[in-house]
Amino acid sequence: RKEVEQDPGPFNVPEGATVAFNCTYSNSASQSFFWYRQDCRKEPKLLMSVYSSGNEDGRFTAQLNRASQYISLLIRDSKLSDSATYLCVVPNTGGGNKLTFGTGTQLKVEL
Partner 1 sequence: ETGVTQSPTHLIKTRGQQVTLRCSSQSGHNTVSWYQQALGQGPQFIFQYYREEENGRGNFPPRFSGLQFPNYSSELNVNALELDDSALYLCASSPDRFTVYNEQFFGPGTRLTVL
Strand ranges (E), 1-111: 4-6, 11-14, 19-25, 33-38, 44-50, 54-57, 60-65, 70-75, 84-91, 99-101, 105-110
The verdict on 51 binding partner 1 (CB under 8 A) reads yes
Least distance in angstroms from the C-beta of 13 to partner 1: 21
Least distance in angstroms from the C-beta of 8 to partner 1: 8
The verdict on 26 binding partner 1 (CB under 8 A) reads no
Least distance in angstroms from the C-beta of 84 to partner 1: 14
Map the footprint of partner 1 across residues 54-83, applying CB under 8 A: none
Q: How far is CA 59 from the centre of its chain?
A: 14
Q: Which of 31, 5, 19, 3 is nearest to 82 (CA)?
A: 19
Q: Which of 88, 85, 86 is nearest to 26 (CA)?
A: 88
Q: Which of 19, 37, 44, 62 binds partner 1 (CB under 8 A)?
A: 44
The verdict on 96 binding partner 1 (CB under 8 A) reads yes
Which residues would be at the binding site for partner 1 (CB under 8 A)?
A: 4, 8, 31-32, 34, 41-46, 49, 51, 87, 91-93, 95-104
